[in-house]
Structure formats: structure tokens, C-alpha cells
Chains A and B, each alone.
Chain A
Amino acid sequence: MSHFLSPVFAPGFFQSSLVQIAVVIGALAAVVSAVVGVFTVLRGQSFAGHAFGDIEATGGSGAYLVGIGPLLGFLIAAVIGAVAMEAIGIQRVRGRDLATGIVLGAALGLAALFLYLETTASSTTGATISVLFGSLFAVSSSTIPLVILLSAVAVTIIAVLFRPLLLSSISPELAAARGIPVRLIGALYLLSLAVAAALAAITIGAILSTALLIGPAATALRLTRSPGRAMLSAGLLGVAATWIGIVLAYDSFLWPPVKQGWPVSFFVVTLVLVFYLLAGLPAAVRARAARTDQRARATASGLAG
């Protein structure tokens, strides 16, 4: 069996504990990202998701400097970011793009400083790559309990709030008229987004975390019509992208030019994009057919006239 599959799975894939850790963490991060991400897209808050990426870069690099785990750094930064967004009002954050851009720029600047200090102290560039672009094969197994806990928290929040959150996301006005505490629901949702962003960051890096958060969810919206099914397919797509990414990254240890392995995040992000484009294909084909049809009819009527 393993011999039969060896063109796909490079030798030692199933025995590697690094791979096993990556498979578990990647899957959990993908599922949480999908469940939360469907609402992020529905609420038009992918901007907030991206902002978390910038803020987490600061948190993750700071964590390296003070010697705590990167996931904890991502999480602390994201939660602080969530509180700040909630205090200012998330819609206003989005509206004030100049101020927000400057603040997020400053956060990345701080990350640059932390990473510079870390790199000069330890004379490796490992931290930079890990924090910004992720290194899933380097995640310590001691992170797994925290990943499981965070996943449970985020998924529980979304599952419990599902109906009021769905209505507030579709129409805050309609939800408020029904007595749903729209602001509180929004704040709890933002907290779960912060957690999802931290999990995505540990998987594919802070800068790329939005891709896992938004990509599978946006793809699922193209494929499904009901919110429950959108979550399910986003979860499957996210897990597929992550696992295939892990396999390819493992295989790439045997690839040129350096025989050191390509980053998992490169494969995951590329697969997310490919899925998204493929999902848009049927609609694009239909639209093209409709246009051609229209043109043909216009030509025909032109000839008739």
C-alpha cells in the first residue's frame, strides 16, 4: 500500500511526528477558519481578518523576543486587536481607512523591530519566516492542547450564537428589531475571529492568515446556497487545502533547487486560490454563454430588421 502510494507520499510521511502534528493543527485551524470565515465574508469584514494578520505579526514576533510560544503571541495580539476594534466600532475602523492603515503599518513596523532584534540576537532568520509566513512543520507538539482548546472555544461561540449571529450579519436592523443584542453578538463574533486568525497564523503565518480565513469561505459561498452547507463545504475545502499542502511540502524536500522543502503555506495559499477560481468557473462559463447567446440574438434581429 505504502509502496503503491509512494509517488504521492514521499517515504517516511506517515511515520513523521512533525507531519502528524502538522496534520492535526492544520485541520483544526482550517475547520475553525471555515466556520468563522463564512460569517466574516457574510458580514463583509474580511478587512478585519486582514487587520488581524498585521497585528499578529507584532504579537508573534514579540513572543519570540520574550520567549513565549508564538501561538500565545498571536492570540494575545489578536485579542487586543479585537478589543480595540470593538471599542472604536468595527464599521468605523473600516471607514477610517487612513488612520487604520497608519496604525496597522505601525504594528508591522514594530514587528520589523522585534524580528530584527531577534535575528541579530540569535543570528538566524527562522523567526521571521515562522512569524510572517508560517512553518507548520516546526510547531511544537506542546502547542496541540492550546490549539484544541482555542478551536473548541471559537466553534462553540459560533455554534451557540448561530441563529442570532446569522440574522445580525444579514441585517443588523432586523435583528435589533427582534430584540437581539446586536452589539454583544458582534463582539463575541469578533473574539472568535481573533481566535481563528491566531490559529490560521500558526498554520500558514500571520501575513497569510487571511487566506485560510477568507478563501475557503468565499469559495463555499460560490458553491452552496444555505449557511450550514456553506460552513461544511468551507471546512472541507480548508482541510483539503491544508492537508494537500502538507503532503506537497513534505514531498518538496526531494525537489530542486535546494532539497530543503518548500513552505507549507505556499502550497496552502495556492490551493486556496485554485479552489476559488475553479468554483467560479461554472458561473463564468454560464455568463459567457449568455453573452454569446445575446450577441447572436442581437445579430439575428439586426439581420431581420
Chain B
Amino acid sequence: MSRVPPAGGEAPILEVEGVCVRLGGREILRDVGFRVGAGEFTGLIGSNGAGKTTLFRVILGLQSATAGRVLIAGHPRSRRNPLIGYVPQKFLLDPDAPLRARDLVGLGLDAHRLGFPLPSAKRTALIEEMLDAVDARAFADARVGNLSGGEQQRVLIGHALISRPRLLLLDEPLANLDLASGHEIVALLSRISREQQIAVLISAHEMNPLLPVMDRIVYMAAGRAASGTTEEVVRAEVLSDLYGHPVEVLHVHGRVLVVAGAHGDPGVANGALGAIEIVS
């Protein structure tokens, strides 16, 4: 079901080791550790408040860890790391804002440089190529603020990919999409990851849309994480330990449901279905 990660002694593109983050007396992340190999597709799964966004901020260097470390391709990460591309969760742009899809993709190439972007055939060609790669050609000249959620995601992925990173971080890209657009985005990411050997770390509160494409899963709950293949991680023992109370893993029509046990703490559940509560 999952792809075999590329063999060889190459250093993992991302290593997170024993990361703890404490903010205002609250422990947001507790001893989080996992690795993402080159070209691997990894799902970071957890409900709201599990610490996914904070973990991304630590990986991006926007939040310092109280303990632990993050290595990018075997090296401590630097402030501006060209190896990482990022697609944020929150992206609100006024429909009036004078920014076309191609402008945003172009900014991915050289936003850190000073001055105006000088028109060059090479720059235009790179932008066109990327617009094609993320299937955004049809709305390349539309204002970004006027695009649908799925279209905006494509443009943002193009923005992140055009500088040729080796790791792509996406914060809840499926959160505000309908099912069909979500499937398209997942298929697109899977294709790009495979074709260009780019590792993908994608956060989501629902694992099912990602099951067909995930090589590995990092499951987070209450600031802690368990990682491995889905077979290794999505099991009652592992997740019960993570949640700190009994949960069950049900397989229903090819979907995986994690539900709180009979005496579970409803505080970790994010949806109730009669007596059982689905936590993912």
C-alpha cells in the first residue's frame, strides 16, 4: 500500500529529535521525535490543538524549541533554508488584491531578493513550467483572492516548489476543501513527490484521504507523537498510550476510524456518534 522509500545511505531530509516546546507554562510539544527520508510522503495526523502547527513552526525556525533539535539534511537548520518549501494554513487575500497566480508563483522564486523582478525569459519559463506542474495554467492570470480554496492551494504549492526544495511542508491543506478538491490536491502532491523526489510532510486532522499515498505517519495527540508506517502506528495499543486513555481502531469499508473506548475522555474526541467517539 505504501511506496518503498528510496534506498541508499542518504541522510534523512528531516530529523526531529526530542523536541519540547513550552509556551506560557503550557507544554505544547513533549519529546517529539521522528524522521522523514528523502522523497518520502509523511502524514502528520492529529486533532486541533495536538501541536501540529507548533511543530511546523519549530521545523521552519519560527519557534525555538525548549529542548531537542531539528536537522535538515543532516545539518542544524538555518534561518532561510532553501531546502524547505512551506504552504501555510491561513491564507486570506482580499479579492481586490492585485496579485495574479503567476505573480505569487514568481515570488516563490525570488521574494527574498531586493528590487523589482526584472522580466526575463528564464524567469517566465520557470513560472510557466511550475504553473503546468501544479495544473494552474487555466487560472494563471486570475487574481489569487478570487480563486477557490483548491485553486489557491495549487498556486501556493507552486510558490513553495519553484525554488526546488527537497522537503515540502503543508499545514492542513485539506482543511477547507471539499472532498473532490482534496483528492486532487493529494494526488498532485503524491505525483510531485514521486516524480521530483521531494519529501512531503503534510498535516491533517483526518488520515483517511492520505492513507493511499502515505509512506509514513506521524500521529500526534496532546503534544506527543508516534511515528512509523500506518500499520505500526495506527493500532489500539500505540494510540491508547499516546492519548493516555483507551482508544480503539476500527476498519470500516476501507476507512480507519479511531474511536474513544467505553470510558474514554471525551475531551480528546472531535466528534460524537452515539456511544462511540471518533478522534480521527
Residues of A near any B CB (own CB < 8 A) = 38, 42, 44, 159-164, 166-167, 170-171, 173-180, 220-222, 224-230
8 tightest A-B CB contacts, nearest first? A179-B80, A230-B98, A167-B111, A177-B86, A173-B88, A179-B79, A221-B96, A177-B60
- Give the number of residue pairs across the A-B interface with Cβ within 8 Å: 91
Query: Are B111 and A164 in contact, with the CB atoms below 8 A?
Result: yes
Chain B residues with Cβ under 8 A from A38's Cβ?
98
Tell me how far the C-beta of A234 lies from the nearest C-beta in chain B, rounded to whole angstroms.
Answer: 10
Tell me how far the C-beta of A63 lies from the nearest C-beta in chain B, rounded to whole angstroms.
Answer: 35
Report the bound CA distance from A133 to B99 in whole Å. Answer: 34
Report the bound CA distance from A179 to B165 in whole Å. Answer: 14
Query: Are A164 and B98 in contact, with the CB atoms below 8 A?
Result: no
Residues of B near any A CB (own CB < 8 A) = 60-62, 78-81, 84, 86, 88, 90-91, 93-94, 96-100, 103-104, 107, 110-117, 141-143, 156, 159
Report which of B60, B62, B78, B116 forms a contact with A162, defined as CB distance below 8 A: B116
Chain B residues with Cβ under 8 A from A176's Cβ?
60, 62
What are 15 contact pairs spanning A and B, CB under 8 A?
A42-B94, A42-B98, A159-B116, A163-B115, A163-B116, A166-B99, A170-B104, A171-B90, A171-B91, A173-B88, A176-B60, A177-B88, A179-B78, A220-B98, A225-B143
Query: Are B115 and A162 in contact, with the CB atoms below 8 A?
Result: yes
Report the bound CA distance from A252 to B80 in whole Å. Answer: 58
Report which of B78, B79, B96, B114 forms a contact with A164, defined as CB distance below 8 A: B114
Chain B residues with Cβ under 8 A from A224's Cβ?
98
Chain A residues with Cβ under 8 A from B61's Cβ?
179
The residue of chain B having its C-beta at the shortest distance from the C-beta of A233 within the complex is: B98
Tell me how far the C-beta of B172 lies from the nearest C-beta in chain A, rounded to whole angstroms.
Answer: 13
Q: A175-B111, A179-B78, A180-B112 are in contact. List 5 more A-B contacts (CB 8 A).
A: A42-B98, A167-B111, A170-B93, A171-B90, A220-B98
Chain B residues with Cβ under 8 A from A221's Cβ?
96-98
The residue of chain A having its C-beta at the shortest distance from the C-beta of B87 within the complex is: A174
Report the bound CA distance from A166 to B112 in whole Å. Answer: 10
Report which of B81, B91, B103, B114 forms a contact with A161, defined as CB distance below 8 A: B114
Query: Are B62 and A177 in contact, with the CB atoms below 8 A?
Result: yes
Query: Are A167 and B107 in contact, with the CB atoms below 8 A?
Result: yes
Query: Are B99 and A226 in contact, with the CB atoms below 8 A?
Result: yes
Tell me how far the C-beta of A167 lies from the nearest C-beta in chain B, rounded to whole angstroms.
Answer: 4
Tell me how far the C-beta of B220 lies from the nearest C-beta in chain A, rounded to whole angstroms.
Answer: 20
Report the bound CA distance from A42 to B96 in whole Å. Answer: 9
Query: Are B115 and A159 in contact, with the CB atoms below 8 A?
Result: yes
Query: Are B86 and A163 in contact, with the CB atoms below 8 A?
Result: no
